Amino acid sequence: MSTATTSLGRPAERLSKIKPSPIRQIFDKAAALDAAGEKVFHFEIGRPDFDTPDVVKAATAASLDRGEVHYGPNAGTPDLRAAIAEYLRSRRNTEYDPDTEVIVTIGANEAVFLALMAFCGPGDEVIVPVPAWAHYQSCVRLAGATPVPVPLNAADNFSLDLDAIAAAVTERTRMVIICTPNNPTGGVASHSEIEKLAQILEPTDALLMSDEIYADLVYEDIEHVSPAAIGNLRRRTLVIGGFAKAFAMDGWRLGWLAGPRELITPALRVRQYTTVCPPTFLQPGAATALRAARGDAEDMRREFEDRRRAGLKILSAVAGISVSKPDGAFYFYVTYPPALAEPAEELAMRLLETERVAVVPGTAFDPEGGTHAIRISYACNIDDLTEGLKRIARTLTPTQPEGAKQ
Ligand SMILES: Cc1ncc(COP(=O)(O)O)c(C=O)c1O
C-alpha cells in the first residue's frame, strides 16, 4: 500500500499566523560564537545574571526532603497563593482572595496564555501598544483572536498614547494589554495615564491585561502603579506577575495571574486541561522568595540601578541616537535615524560579527516601527556592560571622512 504523503508535518491553521522569531538568527549566531570560545557581550538576554537567593533554594530543598513531589491543587498551593496575595497587598496596594483570585502559573508566560485562551477567540480584537514583548501578539493569534498594534511615539518617550488607544477601541475589543514597567522601553505608566485608560475602558466590556513582571525594578523616585489599584479598573484587570526578574528565578518557571473571581475561574479551567498544576516542590521556595528574600531582591535592584546609570552615561554621549527613559525593567531601547546606520536586523548582525555584541533588533517588538531601534539588556556585569556599550557607541559614531582627519 503506497500512501506517500508530504503533509505529515502540516501544522495546524492557527500556526500559519505565527512567524518564527526574527531574532533567532542573532541568538543562533551568538550561541555559535560562545561555543567556539569567543567572548560575546550578551545584551540580548532578558534575564538577571544573579543567582537565586540561598534562602529560596533552601526552602525548595526542604520541600523535596519532605517528599512533596506529587500533584498539587490546580491553582497552586494555598500557602504560595496566600504569599502572593500578601505581597500584592503590601507592594501594589491591591486585595485578592488567595482562594479564588490567584493562580500560580508556569512563569508569567503561562499567565498571559491562560488569560488570552480564557477570554479571547475568533472575532475578538486585542489592543497591544507597540513596541511590545512579542509574545503578546503571538499568544493573541494562538487564541484565534486578532492583535491590534497601536504604535507609540519615540518622540513621546513611548508613553501610552491614550488618544490612539481610544481610537483603536471598537465593539470587538476584548482586551487591552499594557506592560509597566515596559519591555523593551523601560517606560513606567503614570497614575494619570492609567486613570485616563480607566475612563476610556469604562463604557466598554474590554478587559485589561496588566503585565507587571518588572514592577519591583523601578529606579530613582519612580513608583510603579498597578492599574488594579486605580479607579474602577480592578473588576476588568488581569494582573500578570512573576519571580523571574526581581528574584532571579527565571529558570524556576513560576509566576501568577491575579484578578477578580469572575475572571480567574475561566482561566483556571484552561489550566485544568493544559499544565494541571505548577511543580509542587518549587512552590515553598517561591513563597519564601516573597516573604523572606525581598532584601536580596532590593540588593539586585540597586545593582541594576548602578548599571543603568553607568550605561546611560555612555549612551547619552553618542550623538544622534535617542534612548527611551528607562524608569524601570533592565533595558535601554535605542532609536537612531536611518542616516546613522543600516536597518536594525542588519545592524544587530554587524554588531555581533564585528564587535561581538549581541542585541535585539527593534523589529522583534514592532516589525514596522522598530526598523531603526535596538534593545540592550543591562542584566549583565558592569564591566561587560561598559565595554559592550563602548563598542555599540563606536559603531554608531560616524567615522570622519579622510580629508577631515588631522
Ligand atoms: C514583559 C514580560 N512579561 C512576561 C515575561 C515572561 O516571564 P516568565 O519568565 O516568568 O515567564 C517576560 C520575559 O521576558 C517579559 O519580558
Residues 168-222: tens digit of each pLDDT: 999 999 999 999 999 999 999 999 999 999 999 999 999 999 999 999 999 999 9
CB atoms < 10 A from the CB of 167, how many?
11
- Residue 98's contacts (CB-CB under 8 Å, 6 or more residues apart) are 78, 81, 82, 84, 85
Class assignment of domain 56-292? alpha beta
Ligand 1: which atom is nearest the Cα of residue 242?
10
Output the CA 248–ligand 1 centroid distance in Å: 12
Q: Where are the domains of the chain?
A: 14-51+295-396, 56-292
**Are residues 211 and 227 in contact, defined by beta-carbon separation less than 8 angstroms?**
no
**Are residues 393 and 315 in contact, defined by beta-carbon separation less than 8 angstroms?**
yes
Mutate to test the pocket of ligand 1, among 23, 47, 133, 182 (most ligand atoms within 8 A of CB): 133
Peptide bond preceding 184 in cis form (omega within 30 of 0): yes
Cα-flanking dihedrals φ and ψ of residue 45, to 5°? -90, 130
Q: Is the predicted pLDDT of residue 402 greater than 80, yes or no?
A: no
Ligand 1: which atom is nearest the Cα of residue 179?
1
Q: What is the CATH number of domain 14-51+295-396?
A: 3.90.1150.10
Q: Is the predicted pLDDT of residue 103 greater than 90, yes or no?
A: yes
pLDDT tens digits, 26-35: 888 999 999 9
Going by DSSP bridges, is the β-strand pair 373-377/41-42 parallel, antiparallel, or unpaired? Answer: unpaired
Q: Is the predicted pLDDT of residue 2 greater than 90, yes or no?
A: no
Query: Higher confidence at residue 406 or residue 65?
Result: 65
Q: First CA to last CA across the chain, in angstroms? A: 80
Ligand 1: which atom is nearest the Cα of residue 133?
1
Output the CA 110–ligand 1 centroid distance in Å: 9
Tell me the percentage of the chain whose pLDDT exceeds 70.
97
Mutate to test the pocket of ligand 1, among 105, 130, 245, 257 (most ligand atoms within 8 A of CB): 245
Tell me the sheet residues that pair with 208: 176, 237
Output the CA 382–ligand 1 centroid distance in Å: 23
Ligand 1: which atom is nearest the Cα of residue 111?
11
pLDDT-derived band of residue 405, with 50, 70 and 90 as boundaries?
Answer: very low
Nearest to 107 by CA among 312, 350, 233, 286: 286
Nearest to 177 by CA among 267, 121, 240, 229: 240
Q: Whose CA is nearest to atom 1 of ligand 1?
A: 183
Going by DSSP bridges, is the β-strand pair 102-105/255-258 parallel, antiparallel, or unpaired? Answer: antiparallel
**Are residues 361 and 23 in contact, defined by beta-carbon separation less than 8 angstroms?**
yes
**Four-CA torsion 191, 196, 200, 206, nearest 10 degrees:** -10
Output the CA 306–ligand 1 centroid distance in Å: 23
**Are residues 109 and 273 in contact, defined by beta-carbon separation less than 8 angstroms?**
no
Q: Which residues line ligand 1 (CB under 6 A)?
A: 46, 107-109, 133, 179, 183, 211, 213, 242, 244, 250, 255
Q: Whose CA is nearest to atom 13 of ligand 1?
A: 46
**Are residues 146 and 125 in contact, defined by beta-carbon separation less than 8 angstroms?**
yes
Going by DSSP bridges, is the β-strand pair 125-130/146-151 parallel, antiparallel, or unpaired? Answer: parallel
Range of lowest pLDDT (1-15, 172-186, 260-274, 362-376): 1-15
Q: Is the predicted pLDDT of residue 23 greater than 80, yes or no?
A: no
d(CA 143, CA 57): 35
Indicate the helix (H) or strand (E) that contains 82: helix 78-92
Question: What 3-state DSSP class applies to 83?
Answer: helix
Q: What is the DSSP letter of 73?
A: -
Q: What is the DSSP letter of 236?
A: G
Q: Whose CA is nearest to atom 7 of ligand 1?
A: 108
Q: Which three cell numbers stand for residue 310?
A: 553607568
Tell me the sheet residues that pair with 335: 322, 373
Q: Residues 56-65: what's their mean pLDDT? A: 98
Ligand 1: which atom is nearest the Cα of residue 46?
14
Q: Whose CA is nearest to atom 16 of ligand 1?
A: 183
Output the CA 111–ligand 1 centroid distance in Å: 10
- Residue 96's contacts (CB-CB under 8 Å, 6 or more residues apart) are 84, 85, 88, 89, 102, 258, 259
Placement of cell 488570552 in the chain: 116
In one-letter notation, the amino acid at residue 7 is S
d(CA 378, CA 329): 9
d(CA 317, CA 88): 39
Looking from the CA of 159 toward its CB, the CA atoms found within 13 Å total 15
Output the CA 255–ligand 1 centroid distance in Å: 9
C-alpha angle 149-151-157 in degrees, rounded to nearest 5: 140
Cα 51 to chain center, whole Å? 20
Q: Is the predicted pLDDT of residue 154 greater than 60, yes or no?
A: yes
Q: Residue 7: its pLDDT value, please?
A: 86
Output the CA 1–ligand 1 centroid distance in Å: 49
Mutate to test the pocket of ligand 1, among 44, 183, 214, 254 (most ligand atoms within 8 A of CB): 183
Q: Residue 313: its pLDDT value, please?
A: 95
Mutate to test the pocket of ligand 1, among 112, 135, 256, 333 (most ligand atoms within 8 A of CB): 135
Output the CA 371–ligand 1 centroid distance in Å: 23
Output the CA 7–ligand 1 centroid distance in Å: 34
**Four-CA torsion 167, 169, 175, 179, nearest 10 degrees:** 10
Output the CA 109–ligand 1 centroid distance in Å: 6
d(CA 250, CA 286): 12
User: How high does pLDDT run on average in the chain?
Assistant: 94
